[in-house]
A and B are shown apart, each in its own frame.
Chain A
Amino acid sequence: MKNPIKLLIIITLLFASNATFAQQADDLVGVWEPSNGKVRVKIEKLGTKYFGRIVWLRAPIDSVTNKPKVDKNNPDVALRNVPIKGFRLLKDFSFKSVGEWTEGTIYDPENGSTYSCTIKMKDKNTLDIRGYIGISAFGRTDVWKRLEIKKQ
């Protein structure tokens, strides 16, 4: 490259576009609440993918056992004592395009089933989370809202 200014512009643009791309992808990161209000889910980036884990439960104690809730419906018997609080229910989401994360799964602790899942960001504080079986038509969409810590 003979022209150093041209090289600098190209590098700057590459960094800028990469940073913008990463920022748009990371818009998903944060704490969210599903429509039923039973849990709060913290979505974070691990490696190149996005994961969400339960960090808050409206009713953390199992009314039958009087102990903290565990993943008692997991099809794998060995995992039925894993605490629900801290449980990773969103897994392996990849940023596809602006406002869309795909190729992930969502786990429903109510029945122990794992569904294919896509996430669409309607606005910066609202997510459409669609869990489905096989094809998107066989599914259900839930709307999650972003939470933030109370201002002092």
Chain B
Amino acid sequence: MLKKLLVLLFTFPVLANAQTDTTANPPAEEDFSQYDSYNFVDQSIKKYCTSKVFDLSPSKLISIGYDFQGGYNLTTDTLFNPNSSEYTTQNTPGFGSIQYSHGLRLAVNIPVISNNAIIVQLGANYAEHRYKFNQLISSPSNDLITTLKDNGLRTTGLNTTIFKPFNERSFLLVQASADLSGDFGFNSINLKYLRSSVAAIWGQKKGDRKMIGFGLSRTYRVGEMNYIPVFLLNYTAPNRKNGCEILFPARVHYRRTFSARSLALFGYELEGQSYHLGSRNTSPALQDLELRRGELRIRAVYERSISSFLWLSAQAGFRYNYSFEADRLPEGKEFFRGFFGDQPYAMQNTLGNTFYFLLGVNLVSP
């Protein structure tokens, strides 16, 4: 008897509901106007603006990309040291013809805290740049050319992005990163050459189509450390076809939206890092040298969804060299030159300009 009762108790609700079709959308015959008069149960709720603007290019959780630059020339100078002339003889001026340079790029960004009141994202990145020189190298003994040819350059680092809304309009956006850049291998990493960047932007969200902000950044985007004011504007026009994504001066793009699953960007981005050289003890002349690599990428980008969460990204354009000089930083101690400092570079180099393309696959964020 008891067994029968127990079976009946636990199976009755299942049997009673077994015929319900729950897969389709319900017919829209309800009087929806009743929901106009609903209010929050808890009247003390504080509302916040979100970080989203209509039709922005999707933020990436995981990115895998391949970067390729066409041929160009590199001319390197002798080493200069105001305190000691001995270095000037350790590196002969050099010229190298680069057939192409290329490299893999990986990035991961995970939202570790994500709610209405704050979003905290942690990320890691890796990028390498390998140089393929033509057989004819005018100065095969040049130390910079030797390390670029043999070791290339790479960057690896950690970063965080914090979006903190204060109310339905105002927010603070903070981005910080710590990167290790150089000609190192994985067994010659030295954390004292870690370089940190940070940007803080105070902004306002003006509806679903516009976000604007101003701030200050400490950045290596032009190769060497600098302090630069920044301006943020993410905007989508009422027709939902045109817009812009601007974080000036780091990147400026006009956006053309074709659909919810494809878009194009036209504009530029500044890229740069300070690369510690001589990590593999290749040459005493390179010890304490940091290569200030900064470049302007004028480009067109096409992004489209290839499945629900996977997006393909293809960009092509012109890579303009902004900086390829080198500074001597004993023990990696950084200094500030800015736009107006007159400290001489330890090595002045000239890098030609060229076309480039970058292909990538991205897992995009909800």
Q: How far is the CA of A125 from the CA of B45 in the complex (A)?
A: 10
| Interface set, chain B 132-182, CB cutoff 8 A to A | none
Q: Say yes or no for B22: interface residue by CB 8 A criterion.
A: yes
The stretch that binds A, out of B26-34, B66-74, B316-324, is B26-34
Q: Which residue in A56, A141, A150 is a CB contact (below 8 Å) of B39?
A: A150
Stretch of B110-118, B187-195, B273-281 that contacts chain A = B110-118
Contact A140 B365 (CB under 8 A): yes
Contact among B14, B27, B40 for A33, CB-based, below 8 A: B40
B363 to chain A minimum Cβ distance, whole angstroms, is 7
Interface of A is mostly: strand
The verdict on A147 contacting B39 (CB below 8 Å), with A35-B47, A108-B366 known, is yes
Contact of A10 among B2, B20, B119, B259 (CB under 8 A): B2
Is there contact, CB below 8 Å, between B261 and A141? no
- In the assembled complex, A18 has its CB within 8 A of some CB on chain B: yes
Docked-complex contact A55 and B39, CB < 8 angstroms = no
B308 and A113: CB pair below 8 A? yes
Residues of A near B17 (CB, < 8 A) are 46-48
A5 at the interface (CB under 8 A from B): no
Is A102's beta carbon under 8 Å from chain B?
no
Once bound together, how far apart are the Cα atoms of A92 and B24, in whole Å?
11
Total A-B Cβ pairs within 8 A: 139
Partner among B6, B25, B37, B111 whose Cβ is within 8 Å of the Cβ of A140:
B111
Cα–Cα, bound, A111→B324 (Å)? 42
- Cβ-closest chain A residue relative to B310: A133
Tell me the A98-135 residues at the B interface (CB within 8 Å).
108, 110-115, 125-126, 128, 130-133
Whole-angstrom CA separation of A115 from B308 in the bound complex: 9
- Assembled-state Cα–Cα distance A139/B363 (Å): 11
Partner of B308, one of A72, A75, A88, A150: A75
Residue of B nearest to A151 (CB): B39
* A82 in complex: contacting residue of B25, B35, B38, B114, CB < 8 Å: B25
A10 (CB) vs chain B CBs: closest residue: B2
A140 to chain B, nearest CB (A): 5
Bound-complex Cα distance A93 to B61 (A):
26
Judged by a CB distance under 8 angstroms, whether A66 is at the interface is no
With contacts A87-B25, A141-B114, A141-B115 known, is A64 near B41, CB below 8 A?
no
Contact status B13-A53, CB under 8 Å: no
For A148, give its contact among B25, B38, B58, B110 (CB under 8 Å).
B38
A85 within 8 A of B: yes
Query: Using an 8 Å CB-CB cutoff, how does the interface string of B38-67 with A read, 1 for contact, 0 for none?
Result: 111110010110101010001001100000
Answer whether A131 and B115 are a contact pair too, CB < 8 Å, given A40-B38, A55-B32, A85-B32: no
Query: Which residues A47-100 have CB closer than 8 A to chain B?
Result: 47-49, 51, 53, 55-56, 63-64, 72-73, 75, 82-83, 85-88, 91-92
Known: A47-B18, A73-B259, A110-B260. A142 touches B115 (CB 8 A): yes
Q: How far is the CB of A41 from chain B (nearest CB, A)?
A: 10
A46 to B22, CA, bound (A): 7
Q: Is the CB of A49 within 8 A of B25?
A: no
Check if A145 sits within 8 Å of B42, measured CB to CB. Answer: yes
> How far is A64 from B41 in the complex, measured between Cα atoms in Å?
34
Expressed in whole angstroms, the Cα–Cα distance for A88 and B18 within the complex equals 20
Can you pick out 15 interface pairs between chain A and chain B where the beta carbons lie within 8 Å of each other? Answer: A1-B2, A47-B17, A47-B20, A47-B22, A56-B38, A63-B240, A73-B259, A86-B26, A115-B366, A128-B115, A133-B363, A138-B62, A139-B111, A140-B111, A145-B42
Across the A-B interface, the 7 shortest Cβ-Cβ residue pairs: A86-B28, A47-B17, A73-B260, A56-B35, A147-B38, A47-B20, A35-B116
